[in-house]
Amino acid sequence: MIETPEPDLRRQAQPPSMTGSVATRVLGSIGLAAAAVMAILALWISPADAVQGDAVRLMYVHVPSIWVAYGGFALTAFASMRVLWRTRGGIGGTEGVIADRQARHWDRVAGAAAELGVMFTALTLVTGSLWGKVTWGSYWQWDARLTTTVLLFVTYLGYLALRRLPTESRARARRSAVMALIAVVNLPIVHYSVDWWRTLHQEASLSLGPGGDRNYTGEMYWTLLYSWATFTVVALWIGMHRYRVLRLEELAEEAALEELLSVRRGEHSSEPSESDR
Amino acid sequence: MTYAASVFGGYALTALAIVAYAAWVIRRGRALGRDVGIGATAASPSSSRSDPGTGQ
């Protein structure tokens, strides 16, 4: 995967967007158009529910939010495994340099995906509270699904805090990766909590696989799938930008360190030597 | 709270949060890019094979 040495990027001209590319522009445009269509489908075309009325329309933002969050956390776990795998050896030699570069890549993927996961989990909690208020009469209940979801949110907030600890980048990446692999254990617990315990929260909206049961059909079903696709495109678009920002943060750290070192070198060279005294 | 208010609130908050987060990410990228002096081609996946994803 890594074939060429890192080019000196600092000499290139400065454009208006530092993290944009053709891919992000295409994804951003698709995401924007898809969101507009989604709003029409979810708010006008999809019918109201026989029991919940128009409140069911919250499902088209609530459910895709947690699906995207699941995807983000699963990607964080996968990338973290790659980080641990690529940092298991020494840091010297050509192979060590390549492994280090790949580990940094996967570490950035893990960080960007986790941040998106946290944001979409927060949206799930907020939209769920609004939905709960009109259907259950309460913003919050210490129900198994809600409690495990808030635990998931707090755990990944901790993961993001761990990533910000000022320490050597390799050690930080490895520690974060271990935490991500511990945190992801909660993911199936959140998902299956509605089956494992008696909860106020309704069952899963869609069950995939053979014999899978659908709680929604027709326009509701397709609008839900379309909303999920829209959220996924938007998350990918933001994720690409976030990944590149993480790369820029690394470069900024390296530049600051380089500057500090050159100042120190300058101080040493300006000090009078023994022979001058 | 009425059904309409909860639905409106849910959609508005979702849109606001996503737009605010995306704007923060892009602005931070611009600020960092100015500091470090990185070009757009550096952030383009097609510009280099050296670092998967960023092209850096």
Note whether B10 contacts A61, CB cutoff 8 Å.
yes
Classify residue A125: in a domain, yes or no.
yes
Cβ distance B6 to A131 less than 8 Å, yes or no, reads yes
Chain B residues touching residue A248 (CB < 8 angstroms): 29, 32-33, 36, 38, 43
Close Cβ partners of A204 (under 8 Å, ≥ 6 residues apart): A191, A194, A195, A215
Asked whether residue A185 is domain-assigned, the answer is yes
Interface TM-score (ipTM) > 0.90: no
Structurally, chain A folds into a number of domains equal to 1
Is A211 part of any domain? Answer: no
- Domain hosting A136: range is 60-199+216-253
| Rounded distance between C-alpha atoms, residue A204 and residue A264, angstroms | 60
Of B29, B41, B45, the CB nearest to A248: B29
Q: Above 80 in pLDDT, residue B11?
A: yes
Instruction: Work out the minimum CA distance from A245 to partner chain B, whole angstroms.
Output: 5
- Do the Cβ atoms of B14 and A127 come within 8 Å? yes
Closest CA to A239 of B51, B21, B10: B21
Task: Check: pTM over 0.80? Answer yes or no.
Answer: yes
Nearest-CA distance A81 → chain B (Å): 17
CB contact under 8 A, B42 and A12: yes
Dihedral through CA A85, CA A103, CA A78, CA B44, nearest 10? -150
> Going residue by residue through chain A (277 aa), what tens digit of pLDDT does each one get?
444 444 444 444 444 567 888 899 999 999 999 999 999 999 999 998 888 888 899 999 999 999 999 999 999 999 999 999 988 876 667 777 778 888 999 999 999 999 999 999 999 999 999 999 998 889 998 989 999 999 999 999 999 999 999 888 889 999 999 999 999 999 999 999 888 888 778 777 666 555 555 666 788 889 999 999 999 999 999 999 999 999 998 888 888 888 888 888 887 776 665 555 5
Contacts of A2 in chain B (CB under 8 A): 49-52
Q: Do B11 and A61 touch (CB under 8 A)?
A: yes
Residue A27 covered by a domain: no
Query: What's the farthest any 2 CA atoms get from each other in chain B?
Result: 55
In a domain, A223, yes or no: yes
| B22/A contact by beta carbon, under 8 A | yes
